[in-house]
Amino acid sequence: PNLKILVSHGGGAVPYHLGRFQASTEPDLKGGKKARIPIEGTFLSNLRKMYFDTCMYSQEGIECLIKVVGSSQCLFGTECPGMGMARRPDGRSYDNVEDYIKNISWLSEAERQGIFSGNAIKLFKLKDGERIVAGLAVNDPALMLAGAIPAALLAFGLQGLFELAERRVVSR
């Protein structure tokens, strides 16, 4: 469907537990049982249809996210004031994640710029001079921003969310 989902906090533990979620969508080893959660495609291919912010408090976490979903699905995000108002060992705020992204050596400059701005411009279909106000740029009616998506993923599965969106049950 045309629904675009932006998941906060890097998807929580979803990228880290990719194998666990993927396993639930595959048939058992003996071949006697079908997938516990039958979906169209794989869990990973469905996950890569979503977008994720980088509001995570470690470079390792952000790297895991980017490796799992791809840099094109990541948007720069931070929260201030938020839980990260604590001081990191280097003296900076945990909310400051810009340096983590800048320090990922295997990202190309184009991928880095995509995360910092290009991916959001594309997702929100922004034109020169347009801004996102209070986290919402609603010039795309099929956009859904949700902080509770990880819980919804567990409850409905990706296919269920896409089916709900197709029936337009999900509202802004």
Structural contact between residues 8 and 55, judged by C-beta atoms closer than 8 angstroms? yes
Structural contact between residues 77 and 8, judged by C-beta atoms closer than 8 angstroms? yes
- Cα separation of 45 and 49, whole Å? 7
- Cα separation of 15 and 70, whole Å? 11
Q: Which two tokens stand for residue 7?
A: 């998941």
Q: Count of residues for the chain?
A: 172
Which is the catalytic residue, given 79, 98, 109, 166?
79
Structure-derived torsion over alpha carbons of residues 5, 10, 12, 13, reported in degrees to the nearest 10? 110
Catalytic (active site) residue 60: no
Instruction: Please identify every residue annotated as catalytic.
Output: 79
